[in-house]
Amino acid sequence: MNRGLLLVISGPSGAGKGTVCDAYKNKCGQRVWNSVSMTTRAPREGEVNGKDYYFVSREEFEQRIQDNKFLEYAEFVGHYYGTPLDKVEEQLAFGNEVVLEIEVQGALQVREKMSQAIFVFIAPPSMEALYERLLSRGTESKELILERLEKAKREIKLAYMYDYIVVNDEVHNAADKIMAIVRAEHAKTERAIFGYNKLMEVE
Beta strand 164-167 pairing with 32-34: unpaired
User: Cα separation of 68 and 114, whole Å?
Assistant: 13
Q: Does 180 bind its own copies (CB under 8 A)?
A: yes
Q: Which of 101, 110, 48 is nearest to 73 (CA)?
A: 110
- The yes or no reply on residue 188 touching its own copies (CB under 8 A) is yes
Residue 9 CA: distances (Å) to CA of 24, 46, 48, 117, 138: 10, 26, 24, 11, 26
Binding mask 124-163 for its own copies (x = CB under 8 A): xxxx----------------------------xx-xx-xx
Contacts by 109-113, CB closer than 8 A, 24 or more apart:
109/71, 109/72, 109/73, 110/6, 110/8, 110/71, 110/72, 110/83, 111/8, 111/161, 113/71, 113/72, 113/85
- 64 belongs to the binding site for its own copies (CB under 8 A): no
Beta carbon nearer to its own copies, 127 or 146: 127
| Residue with Cβ nearer its own copies (3 or 58) | 3
Interaction between residue 164 and its own copies (CB under 8 A): yes
CA distance 130 to 137: 12
Among 60, 62, 90, 185, binds its own copies (CB under 8 A): 185
* Closer Cβ to its own copies, 147 or 163, answer by number: 163
Determine the interface stretch with its own copies among 47-55, 78-86, 106-114, 174-182 (rule: CB under 8 A).
Answer: 174-182
Of the candidates 165, 168, 170, 172, which one interacts with its own copies according to CB under 8 A?
A: 165
Q: Of 53, 73, 81, 121, which one interacts with its own copies (CB under 8 A)?
A: 121
Interface contacts to its own copies, rule CB under 8 A:
121, 123-127, 156-157, 159-160, 162-167, 177, 179-181, 183-185, 187-189, 192-193, 196, 199-202
